[in-house]
């Protein structure tokens, strides 16, 4: 019965998607640019309705499929609207100009609509026991306090000490986010499992700490939201499918805090050249930043929605104009060279596009990430749809197996913290992490998960045995 309901929901979603495609074909180019955001919004709202066909609604909302569709569609909703209305800071206005004169916009829009369709269709119902998870903690309150203290120290330590692994790719300081993230995940895990009354303070405090010690990367802070949600739901602290006033207020507060942090980090990085003499003092210049640029302009640019949409369309358009750019899987084969020095690796999809789009930016180490839908098209043209279907199906299967099938979250292990890290950075993979970089990040994260586990939990186990 439940299976039939899911099939019915997917059929409705498919009908809506192809109806949108029909409207896209009918509209002229100017009207399509004007209403493009609305097409992605309608499709996303109907994607949410599919949750009715799932017995475990939390699994649906946290699944790789739904996260992918949410990430892509929300970016395209806000990004296409912003680009069409030239909502951007001055330095990025050329992107809006290019976007609004882009050819092949009908074809590209239909491609993304279909990608979101097959991403949802790849998600299947699961056999999930609603039996309550064993949530008792093996550590004392005093030990929990020590874990928080040790992990906070590790975050601060790796904010000061530079972990230079640039010889295997990435920036010289980019790998410092890995031990910081693992330390934060350990705090989140123990807080959620113990149902600590102070856990929301820990969550906000760690996020603010990470922001103040690594203002060059907004994404590190944003990605941590997802393991927090997963842990809160897994240990029955939250039910994401049930809305109440408390959740609405927490969500609203979280959005306000996150937007404010984005603006503060923008000032930290030197935009606007405001004369702040400390990070605390820089916070006071947020009103100046908004006044000088306009709230929507600065938000659209710093949130990366316009960049995401611009690159999403521009990259596919290059291939449609010149079929010789098709890679036929070569950007994926880069995974075979994952641990070779970055200087002798083949170019990633992001590097390839950046070099073509803005060679000067590429020369100074800049990058314009290409999302997984666009990369699949760059490699296989429309056959990339089959690749997306297979990839998302495998991600969904792995997610179910790792987090729901055998209650793997019940006990802390190095592998568990590695899985949580991989889940946290799944949106980074969707955004444009190459296969090889994502693999390297996960590999390095396992080393730090093992190291921190030995530092923290091994001693605690010895003490518990004595008791």
Per-residue pLDDT of 232-290, as tens digits, reads: 888 877 776 666 676 677 777 777 777 777 777 777 766 666 776 666 667 777 777 77
In sequence order, the 6+-apart residues with CB closer than 8 A to the CB of 55 are 2, 125, 128
Phi and psi at residue 397, to the nearest 5°? -65, -45
- Tell me how crowded residue 26 is: count the other CB atoms within 10 A of its CB: 10
Q: Per-residue pLDDT tens for 198-234?
A: 888 888 888 888 877 765 566 677 788 889 988 888 8
Give the confidence band of 399 by pLDDT, cuts at 50, 70, 90.
confident
Burial class (CB in 10 A: 0-12, 13-18, 19+), 134: exposed
Tell me the backbone φ, ψ of residue 54, rounded to 5 degrees: -110, 135
Selection from 326, 342, 363, 315 nearest residue 436 by Cα: 342
CB atoms within 10 A of CB 454: 11
Rounded to 10°, the helix 225-234/414-424 angle is 120
CB count in 10 Å sphere of residue 335: 14
Cβ proximity of 131 and 73 under 8 Å: no
Residue 175 placed within a domain: yes
298 belongs to a structural domain: yes
- Please report whether residue 21 resides in a domain: no
* CA–CA dist 1, 53 (Å, integer): 10
Tell me how crowded residue 408 is: count the other CB atoms within 10 A of its CB.
15
Winning range, highest mean pLDDT, from 18-27, 120-129, 228-237: 18-27
pLDDT band of residue 375 (cuts 50, 70, 90) is very high
Q: How many helices (H) and strands (E) does the chain have?
A: 24, 0
Return the closest-CA partner of residue 384 out of 108, 7, 2. Answer: 108
Closest CA to 343 of 193, 189, 170, 195: 170
Residues 6+ apart with CB under 8 A from 71: 427, 430, 431
Residue 74 lies inside a defined structural domain of this protein: no
SS3 assignment, position 270? coil
Residue whose entry in the numeric block shows the structure tokens 């929301």: 200
Among 58-67, 125-134, 258-267, 319-328, which stretch is predicted with the lowest mean pLDDT? 125-134
**Average pLDDT score over the chain:** 81
- How many domains would you assign to the chain? 1
52-66, 107-121, 123-137, 269-283: least confident range: 123-137
What is the structure's pLDDT at 218?
61
The whole domain housing 160 covers 141-302+396-466
Domain presence at residue 112:
no
**pLDDT tens digits, residue range 164-202?**
655 555 444 457 788 999 999 999 998 888 887 888 888
Distance (Å, rounded) from C-alpha 103 to C-alpha 390?
A: 29
Helix or strand or coil: residue 358? coil
Q: How far is the C-alpha of 353 from the C-alpha of 368, rounded, in Å?
A: 7
Examine residue 115 and state whether it is found in any structural domain, yes or no: no
Q: Give residue 464's pLDDT band: very low, low, confident or very high (50, 70, 90).
A: very low
- The answer to the question of residue 270 being in a domain is yes
Q: Is residue 127 part of a domain?
A: no
Pull the structure tokens for residue 215.
Answer: 């203002």
CB-CB contact of 223 with 425 (8 Å): yes
Give Cα 217 distance to the centre of its chain: 13
Buried b (16+ CB within 10 A) or exposed e, 212-250: ebbbebbebbbbbebbbbbbbbbbeebebeeeeeeeeee
**CA contacts within 13 A on the Cβ side of 165:** 18
Which pLDDT score is estimated for 465? 46
**pTM for the predicted model, two decimal places:** 0.85
């Amino acid at each position: 019965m439940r299976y039939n309901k899911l099939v019915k929901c997917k059929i409705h979603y498919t009908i809506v998607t192809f109806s949108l495609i029909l409207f896209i074909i009918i509209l002229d180019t100017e009207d399509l640019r004007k209403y493009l955001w609305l097409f992605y919004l309608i499709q996303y709202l109907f994607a949410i309705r599919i949750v009715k066909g799932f017995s475990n609604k939390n699994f649906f909302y946290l699944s790789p499929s739904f996260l992918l569709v949410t990430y892509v569609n929300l970016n395209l909703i806000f990004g296409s609207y912003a680009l069409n209305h030239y909502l951007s800071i001055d330095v990025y206005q050329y992107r809006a100009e290019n976007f609004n004169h882009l050819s092949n916009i009908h074809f590209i829009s239909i491609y993304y609509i279909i990608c979101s369709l097959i991403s949802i269709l790849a998600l299947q119902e699961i056999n999930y026991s609603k039996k309550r998870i064993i949530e008792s903690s093996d550590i004392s309150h005093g030990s929990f306090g020590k874990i928080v203290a040790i992990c906070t120290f590790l975050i601060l330590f790796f904010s000061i000490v530079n972990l230079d692994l640039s010889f295997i790719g990435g920036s010289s300081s980019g790998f410092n986010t890995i031990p910081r993230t693992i330390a934060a995940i350990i705090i989140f895990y123990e807080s959620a499992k113990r149902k600590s009354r102070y856990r929301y303070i820990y969550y906000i405090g760690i996020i603010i700490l990470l922001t103040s010690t690594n203002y060059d990367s907004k994404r590190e802070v944003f990605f941590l939201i997802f393991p927090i949600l997963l842990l809160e739901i897994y240990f029955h602290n939250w039910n994401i499918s049930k809305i109440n006033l408390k959740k609405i207020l927490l969500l609203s507060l979280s959005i306000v805090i996150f937007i404010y942090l984005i603006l503060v980090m923008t000032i930290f990085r030197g935009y606007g050249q405001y004369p702040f003499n400390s990070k605390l003092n820089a916070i006071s210049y947020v009103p100046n930043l908004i006044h000088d640029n306009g709230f929507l302009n600065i938000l659209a640019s710093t949130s990366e929605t316009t960049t995401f949409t611009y690159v999403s369309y521009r990259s596919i358009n290059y291939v449609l104009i010149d079929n010789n750019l098709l890679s036929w899987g070569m950007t994926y084969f880069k995974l075979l060279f994952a641990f070779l020095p970055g200087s002798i690796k083949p170019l990633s999809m992001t590097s390839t596009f950046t070099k073509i789009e803005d060679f000067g930016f590429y020369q100074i180490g800049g990058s314009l990430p290409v999302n997984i839908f666009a990369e699949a098209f760059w490699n296989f043209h429309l056959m990339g749809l089959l690749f997306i279907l297979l990839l998302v199906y495998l991600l969904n299967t792995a997610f179910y197996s790792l987090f729901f099938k055998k209650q793997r979250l019940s006990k802390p292990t190095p592998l568990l913290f590695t899985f949580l890290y991989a889940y946290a950075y799944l949106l980074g993979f969707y955004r444009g992490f190459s296969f090889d970089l994502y693999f390297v990040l996960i590999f390095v994260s396992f080393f730090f998960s093992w190291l921190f586990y030995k530092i923290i939990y091994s001693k605690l186990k010895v003490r518990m045995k004595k008791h």
